[in-house]
Structure 1
Amino acid sequence: MFRLTLVDVSSVSTGLFITGALFILLIFSLLSFGILQMFQRRVRAGWYSFAGAVVSGVAFGLILNEWFV
């Protein structure tokens, strides 16, 4: 059904890798912090964290589009 093949990642630049790693860490940490805040009944802080994750995702898309495409 699915065939596993090898993918050559040696052509990925260092800058792209570091940018992706930093933004992924930022976005998912903001999402998890927002969920934590919601469980602690700090709703406003939770929504701010979710909004920060969305803004970070948009910024990541814009940076990828501007610098790496």
Structure 2
Amino acid sequence: MTIDDISTISGGLFATGALFILLIFSLLSFGILRMFQQKIRAGWFSFAGAVVSAGAFALILDQWFV
């Protein structure tokens, strides 16, 4: 195993990553919960929100941090 230097990661990148990871996985888990509750339409909307959030995250990373 190697030691990685993470001191070059900016605070903005860390906060953006943490925020979007929480958002995406929250929507995915909420969608799974809604599917188990037999609320299929609300579940698919949550899955769609997770996909849109992942796309927005990729776009923000590409525009601001790359």
Shorter-chain TM-score bucket reads over 0.9
Counterpart-to-counterpart distance in 2, 1:7 and 1:21: 19
Structure number, greater radius of gyration: 1
Q: CA RMSD in A?
A: 0.1
Counterpart-to-counterpart distance in 2, 1:37 and 1:55: 18
Give the length in aligned residue pairs. Answer: 66
What percent of counterpart residues are identical?
Answer: 73
1:5 corresponds in structure 2 to: 2
Q: Structure 1: which 5+ residue stretches go unaligned?
A: none
Q: Structure 2: which 5+ residue stretches go unaligned?
A: none
2:16 corresponds in structure 1 to: 19
Counterpart-to-counterpart distance in 2, 1:7 and 1:29: 29
Provide the TM-score with structure 1 as the length reference.
Answer: 0.95
2:32 aligned with 1:39: no
